[in-house]
Amino acid sequence: RAEIKMASKQLRVWKLKLSDAGIYTCQYGSHKVHTSLHVFKLTISLDGYFLQNEVPELILMQNSSNPVPDLSIALFNSNNNRVTPELQNKTLQKYILNLKKLEAMDSGTWVCQVHSDSPLINQNISFDVKVLGFQNPDSERKYAAVDSTVILSWRLNFQKIKWMKGFTGQLNWKQQESANAHELLDFNVTAQGQLHETKKSSNLLFEIPERKPGNTIEVMLPKVHFNHSGQYQCQLAYQGRHAQSKIELVVMKVSANPVGPLSRGANMMLTCQVFGPLRPNAYLRWERVNGTQMDTKNSKQHEVKLEVNISAAGLWSCHLIEDNDRKISLHYHVEEASVWINYVIIGASVGGSVLVFALACLCIISGISWQRRRQRAKRMAQARQYLLENKTCQCQQ
């Protein structure tokens, strides 16, 4: 592991070890020159391959022929921002440091800066960190209307950081936190960076878009239903370790009863419903656009259904509000019945009443006539019986 260059009087040592530390003497004739070699060794856990939210461990060791100094250590991430590590254990020969939880953006070359005043040491030791994960947040929430189209996507960073190691993953869905998860698809990525997906059988109707980036897991719900709400979690797996990112889908629906134009003097019930994971301070609001304060109604916090009884036509809007921010709004246009329709409705009502009265009268008249015919038939039958009896008596005489 060593080479001496006689022409330049140089000693070259490869692949230094801690045991190589010490005093090296170069003797030329009666001249001697002494050089002290101080050796540092920096190791990082898991060979520098991490999943997001994992905590790396750094071990810095030193060896010297002289008493080893007390070191000052500073760390700088791939963006050249200083990172404050947590010192787990320390001896003069060994320093054990824990970093913060890693994010996908932390991938790159880090620098460990070592300093000592006596002896004077200023040494920068670089090391590589690769963090496999999502370019999405760990958790996000999306909002959709019933019958709309929604695309849920997770962007992986394996191509960007040149991960070059195979890993697997799956996409699961569950409607509530306490419910059982349903596997929608699984996937694997080869060491060459090729993504392969397999759709699993599920009652949930979804599609995998054909045209999408090669580093993206994506599903499309072509026609959102209330039952599609819930938690969609994408999970990565590498050497028994896992990382995940979830999207919570909240679905809203508005309806009216009765459906159709609003007649003058009539009422209509508007209903707004949401289904899915909500924040504790979320609430619903019905309001008429360009209306007054009387045309506004709020639900209680965390209520998932709000009904309002209206008598005014116009554009009504339902809002889902979280943290004083409108997350989704749906509109329902209530049309006012035209004058001739109102006349038709009034005429139909009056005509219907007259028709009912006429039918009642007809029934009464028919009943009376039927009763009279029945009585007349009864009297004729009695008369025939009387004549028959008299005729019989005359023959016997």
Question: 84, 72 in Cβ contact below 8 A?
Answer: no
Question: 258, 268 in Cβ contact below 8 A?
Answer: yes
Domain ranges, ordered by start, for the chain: 2-132, 139-248, 258-334
pTM, two decimals, is 0.76
The domain 2-132 having CATH identifier 2.60.40.10: the answer here is: yes
- The number of CA neighbours under 13 Å toward the Cβ of 367 is 6
Q: What is the pLDDT of residue 352?
A: 61
Q: What is the pLDDT of residue 299?
A: 95
The tens digit of pLDDT for each residue in 178-208 reads: 888 999 999 999 999 999 999 986 667 888 8
Q: What is the pLDDT of residue 357?
A: 64
Q: What is the pLDDT of residue 300?
A: 93
Show the tokens assigned to 65: 């022929």
CB within 8 A of 182, min separation 6: which ones?
172, 173, 174, 202, 203, 204
**Cα-based distances in Å from 205 to 113, 218, 253:** 54, 14, 19
- How many of the other CB atoms lie within 10 Å of CB of 64? 19
* Paired sense of beta strands 139-145 and 241-257, if any: parallel
CA gap 163, 47 in Å, rounded = 13
Name the CATH superfamily for 258-334. Immunoglobulins (2.60.40.10)
The tens digit of pLDDT for each residue in 121-142 reads: 999 999 999 999 999 889 999 9
CA gap 205, 264 in Å, rounded = 43
Backbone dihedral region for residue 324 (phi beyond 0: left; psi -120 to 50: alpha; all else: beta): left
CA gap 212, 214 in Å, rounded = 6
Q: What is the pLDDT of residue 66?
A: 82
CA gap 134, 120 in Å, rounded = 43
**Cα-based distances in Å from 255 to 56, 284, 285, 353, 376:** 53, 14, 14, 32, 62
Question: 313, 335 in Cβ contact below 8 A?
Answer: yes
Q: Pick from 242, 247, 246: which is nearest to 51 by CA?
A: 242
Low-confidence ranges of the chain (pLDDT < 70): 201-203, 338-358, 360-361, 363, 367, 370, 374, 377, 379, 381-397
Q: What is the pLDDT of residue 163?
A: 92
Common-topology check for domains 139-248 and 258-334 = yes
Q: What is the pLDDT of residue 358?
A: 63
Q: Pick from 283, 288, 320, 285: which is nearest to 303 by CA?
A: 283
Q: Which residue has the tokens 């009422």?
A: 267
The domain 139-248 having CATH identifier 2.60.40.2550: the answer here is: no
